[in-house]
Amino acid sequence: MNVVITGASKGIGKAIAEQFAQQGCDLFLCSRHMDKTNAWQQQLMERYNCAVMSSNTDMGEEGQVREFAQKVLDAFDRVDVLVNNAGVFEPGTVHGEADGQLERMLRINLLSAYHLTRLIVPRMIEQKSGHIFNICSVAALNAYTNGGSYSISKWALLGFSKNLREEMKAHGIKVTSVHPGATMTGSWEGFDIDPMRILEAGDIARMVVASAGLSEQACVEDILIRPQLGDL
């Protein structure tokens, strides 16, 4: 399989890349700092006998999204899996956060997935198959304290994902919305967190890869995974 993953240099995206590499999949990865993971990419290729290509891409900039999509389409004659994982968390309140925060959250957390999918999905329609994963959040399901524009953007991403699911059914393309609870990624750096109260990035990755491996007639529409002891 050919797999495209955004926001793949750390956290959930990196864990998903590792899990797909273990399955022998060829990868095209991007993030703003993908070049800082060259040694890791080389390890994946040597260990799992897969191809790994990558691009430094700011998914909050539409022009760079378009450039990345063209690189993918030039490299792969088919795209089997697209994981829209690029995103950023900034706490805040609707009435108190800085001007421009909503626009920034929407560019990175929603429009990155919207624009990339629109550029990649014609190839999937042509091949009559494919699987798109949109990494949403439990913040897309319930309002929570200090969620602000981040939560709004994730609700919007879920709306995009649900609409896309309906549109793609007739083309043989699956769409899955992924809702992780608190997960040990860069967003939690500096916090003193009991490891038993937070998910590992690998937990989400294993669920994504398992869903991608189901039969042609089966589609996991939503993955909701929370810490065993509940949300933080």
Backbone angles phi, psi at 26, to 5 degrees: -85, 140
Give whole-number Cα distances, 83 to 40, 87, 149, 164, 213, in Å. 19, 12, 22, 14, 14
Give whole-number Cα distances, 21 to 14, 44, 58, 171, in Å. 11, 7, 23, 27
Cβ partners under 8 Å of residue 84, min gap 6: 6, 112, 113, 116, 117, 132, 133, 134, 135, 157
**Packing angle of the helix pair 62-75, 112-127 (nearest 10 deg):** 20
Q: Which of 48, 114, 144, 150 is catalytic?
A: 150
Asked if 42 contacts 51 with a C-beta cutoff of 8 angstroms, the reply is: no
Closest residue by Cα to residue 210 from 16, 7, 30: 16
- d(CA 211, CA 205) in angstroms, rounded, equals 10
* Annotation marks residue 144 as catalytic: no
Rg for the chain, CA atoms, rounded: 17
Task: Cite the active site residues.
Answer: 150
